[in-house]
Structure 1
Amino acid sequence: MKKYLKFFTIMLAVLAVMMFSLSVNAEVVKW
C-alpha cells in the first residue's frame, strides 16, 4: 500500500510540474 502511495505522490508531482511549465510557456508566448 505504501508503494502505491509513493507512486501516486510522484505522479502528482510530475503532473504539477507539467502544468507549471505549460503555464510558464503560455506566459512566454503571450509576451
Structure 2
Amino acid sequence: LYGKKVSSKKIISEGFKFEYTTLESFLNQHY
C-alpha cells in the first residue's frame, strides 16, 4: 500500500492523525 517506512512520515505530514508507532508497526507487519 505505502511500501516504505519513509512514506509513513509523508502520510503524517499530510495531516493523517495516526500515531507514528502504530503506523510503524502496521508497516512492519504487512511489508
What TM-score, normalized to structure 2? 0.39
Q: Which of the pair has the greater relative contact order for Cα pairs under 8 Å at 6+ separation? A: 2
Rg larger for: 1
Greater helix share, structure number: 1
